[in-house]
Structure formats: structure tokens, C-alpha cells
Structure 1
Amino acid sequence: MTDEPYSIEVTIAVPVGDVWSALRDPELIRRWHGWHFDGLDKEIEVIYHQNVVESAAEHRLETQGGDLFELTDLDGRTRLRVTRAPRGGDPDWDAYYDDITEGWITFVHQLAFALERHPGADRRTVFLSGAAATPVLEATGLVTVAGLPPASPYELEGPTGETLRGQVRFRSANQVGLTVDGWGDGLLVVAQNPPSPANPGGTAMMVLTTYGLDDAAFAGLESRWNAWWARNFPEATANDQDATAVADPPRGD
């Protein structure tokens, strides 16, 4: 028995050709997909280029796992829809199904943010992930902000002592995305993923995306957030986490 396919949809305020290029050019994909770690280039190759089926004319891309990207031209804007492959085809994929779905939600919003707010710009990221013993929104003090509708302004003292201000960028059932003015108009994604067969206790995750910070400023931000995360989520792994388990979990032969 299979479930009905689950779809993720976002409208991006750039032409469809620009979105298609951002899905096909590895150098452009590096500017929005996931976060930086030693295996990022390999992950991009595996997800977006190995055993995929694509139609440039129709702006359709099917990954080797069966997830389908479809772009629709909306007169200068683009609707991006990702339709998940149904459960039931592969037990290894099924165990990670919910985790992969959450990964795609993060990724499509990263794509939209990068194209709309920072076209052509490189970024630097901090990735934090671990067991969800402590609700991450409570730990960060973002519970109230997470309840605001998209485009709402916010300002608060962040958990590392810096002032965070910007707008609510997006909300989903398990994630919230916030722009952060002080990170060069950056993006903070906070996720509390529910228990799944692959992660029975659930997981907490944060991706901090920055633009234009000098080396000292970025190093300070990275150090503060890693130290805070280690105190609050002691089982966490920071920064060098491989995202492949989210978007491309291991499968049997």
C-alpha cells in the first residue's frame, strides 16, 4: 500500500529560466542547497545529476529517488513544485521519508531566498543538528516569533546574546525561516523534526546562512553558535554533518 504523494510548493519572484539554471548548474546549486561541508559537491552530483530524468523544455526534473521538480512560468515569477515519490517502493527510502520531506522544505526555501535576495552571491553557513530532547524553538527563544505569519517583522535577543531582527520568511508544520539583518541579510532556518523510523527520538536542526561577513565576523558567529548548541544539545554534531542522509539516504542493492 502506498500513500498519496506529498507536494511542496513555493512561488519565486524570478523568471523560470533563472530557477531552472539554479537547479542544473552545480556552481549555482552550491549557493543555496543545504549547507557547506566536505561532501557538498558530491551530494549535489548524486542528487541533481546521477540517474535523473530531465526535460529542459518542460522544466521538469525527476531525481533517482522518484521525487519530481516542476517549474511553471507565472509571467516573470515561477511556481516550483516538488512532488515526493510515494512510500512503499523501497524500505530504506521509506525509513527516511519524513526526514527527506523536511529536507526538501528547507532546500526549496533556501533556493527561493537566494534567487530573490542574493542572486549571484556566495554564502557561508553554519549547520547544527542533534537529538531533539529540548524543543529547539524553546531553547532559542523563538516560540513567539515562530507563530507570526510570513513577512511579519521581528526583533529579539538571540540565544547567543546578539540581537536578531528581520522578517519571518516562511513557516511550515515543523520549520520556521527568518531573515537576519545582521548576517548580511541572511537566513536562519530552525526545524524540529518529529520522530521517524530513521530517527525515533526526532531531531533538532538549524541552518545559519550569512552573506558578506568578513572572516573574523563569521568565525565569531560560528564559534558562538557552536558553543551554545553544544551546551543545549550535547549529542549534536556541528557543521560537518553530511546532508546526504536527508536528501539521499543509503539504499540497499
Structure 2
Amino acid sequence: MAAGRDETWEAVTQPAVLHQWFGWDYDGLGAEIQQIFVDQAALLAPERMGWADGSYLEVNGGDDRATVRVIREGSGSAGSERYDAIEEGWRAFLMQLRFLLDRRPKGRRRTLYLTGETTGWQALALAEGEWQRFGPRVGWAVDGDGHLVVVAGRLPLDDRDAGRMEVTVSTYGLDDAAFETLREEWTKRWAPVAAAAEVTTATDPSPES
């Protein structure tokens, strides 16, 4: 992260900052953040929090740069072969955190969360940009408008078969009209390439996993 240890720790512990990167917008996001990072999290050491399942998050670094690691018990060499929703979720969310701290976008975050059945290459073709991978099932890019696009699949993104894909588009500082225009544009892109295509915003209920 292009931020010091203290600022990064604040980003993973303060609900107001967590809203700027964690998950995606839906009407229950505030309650989810409260549950995960406040009610259920325990402080294990300075800059380290943990949960009852044995997983923990830690921040290391100095005044200018920091590293965030999430460690889960039971993950190992087999972790890249089998799908683990929690693990892949953390991969996607940490890319969103790094975007926030590296790019420092202005304004309130608003997201589009796209779900449906398609192939990885079709999902990655939704946005132009230099795609990078974080493991076999998560890819991210910054599109031409400066929005962060994160694609996460139940199957590896290089798999030729179609599977459930989740695409999170993070925007910052858009007013209602601009955000609605963007939502319409992405809906038109997503619907033709994904079976059971859905687009979730803050006014929608949480999608089923």
C-alpha cells in the first residue's frame, strides 16, 4: 500500500474508511462492516486483528508504505485448486483497499456489483485496461474513466467453461445522474454475456451467494 502503517491500520478498522473499499454497496453493508470488523474482531497485537475461525489480518510497514496480509488456517498448496469464497473475497477486497490508498480517489465510493454465469475472458473483456491477476480467480484493472474493475470467478479466469462471475466496479465522487448513466452502461454490457445477469447497487438487497 502507498500509505504508512498507521493510515493503513485505520483503513481496516474505522467503519467510515471501510465503506470506501470493503465489499460492495447494498443496503446491509454497514451492518456487515460492523459485524466483521467491530463486533467479531479481536485485537491480537498492535496492527493485528483476528476472528474466531483462526484467521487474522495484520498490517506491517513504516511511515510511507505498508503491507496488509490476511492469513487463514487450512489454506496451503491446495488453496489455488479449490474454490474458497472467503479467500477469494479477501483477494478482491484487498485490491479495492490498495486502489483507495494508492490512487486516493476523491468523493464517496459508489459501486456496481454484477453477478451471473459467464467465462472469465468474457468478464475481462467488459473493461479496457491493463488487467492484472491476484491468484487464478481474481483479476483487476482501472478502466479509461478511472474506475476500478475487479472480476472474481468460481472457476479460474482462464477456464473455458462458464461459471459464476462477480464483477465489482468502484467509482468515486459521482453524482446521482452520472452514477445512473454508468449503471445503465454496465447493465447493457453485462446482460448479453452473462446468464442470470444481475446488477446490485445500494438500493438493492444483498445478492445471494
Corresponding position: 1:242 with 2:203 = no
Offset, 1:74: 4.0
Matching residue of 1:48: 37
CA drift of 1:189 comes to 0.7
Q: What secondary structure sits across from 2:11 in the alignment? A: helix
Query: Contact (CA 8 Å) 1:68, 1:84: kept in 2 or not?
Result: yes
User: Which digits, 9 at most, give the CA deviation of each residue in 1:135-176, with x for residues without a partner?
Assistant: 03235536xxxxxxxxxxxxxxx5xxxxx44x4455431111
1:69 to 26, 44, 57: 57
Equivalent residue number for residue 103 of structure 1: 89
Give secondary structure in 2 for the equivalent of 1:128.
Answer: strand
Query: Helix, strand or coil: the match of 1:218?
Result: helix
The residue number in structure 2 matching 1:215 is 176
Kindly tell me: are residues 106 and 232 of structure 1, through their superposed partners in 2, closer, same or farther at Cα, counting changes over 3 Å?
same
AA partner of residue 177 (structure 1): W
Is residue 204 of structure 1 aligned with residue 168 of structure 2?
A: no
Within a 5 Å distance, the mapping from 1:105-144 to structure 2 comes to 105-118=91-104, 121-131=107-117, 134-138=118-122, 140-141=124-125
Report which of the two structures shows the higher radius of gyration computed on alpha carbons: 1
Structure 1 residues 44 and 190, CA, compared in 2 at 3 Å: closer, same or farther?
same
| 2:142 aligns with one of 157, 173, 179 | 179
Instruction: Output the CA distance in 2 between the equivalents of 1:62 and 1:243.
Output: 26
* 1:7 corresponds to: none
TM-score relative to the length of structure 1 = 0.68
Is 1:26 the equivalent of 2:18? no
Which secondary structure does the structure 2 equivalent of 1:24 belong to?
coil
Give 1:220 deviation, angstroms: 1.3
Give, in whole Å, the separation in 2 of the partners of 1:119 and 1:75.
21
Q: 1:129–1:236: 8 Å Cα contact kept in structure 2?
A: yes
CA distance, structure 1, for counterparts of residue 32 and residue 15 of structure 2: 10
Write out the 4+ residue segments of structure 1 that deviate beyond 4 Å after TM superposition: none
Report the AA paired with residue 206 of structure 2: D
TM-score (norm 2): 0.81
Could you say if the C-alpha distance between residues 139 and 103 of structure 1 is closer, same or farther in structure 2, counting changes exceeding 3 Å? closer
**1:176-226, Cα deviation, whole Å (9 max, x unpaired):** 1101231xx22011122229xxxxx84211011112333222211101212
How many residues align structurally?
195
Cα gap change, 1:226 to 1:241, in 2 (>3 Å): farther
RMSD: 2.6
* % identity of equivalent residues: 33
Distance (Å, rounded) in 2 between the aligned partners of 1:102 and 1:125: 18
Q: Summarize deviations over 1:88-126 as a string: whole Å, max 9, x none.
A: xxxxxxxx9701111000011111111121267421110
What's 2:67 paired with? 79
2:153 alignment counterpart: 192
Structure 1 173/97 Cα, relative in aligned 2: closer, same or farther at 3 Å? closer
Do the aligned partners of 2:24 and 2:113 also contact (CA within 8 Å) in 1? yes
1:237 corresponds to which letter in structure 2?
A: E
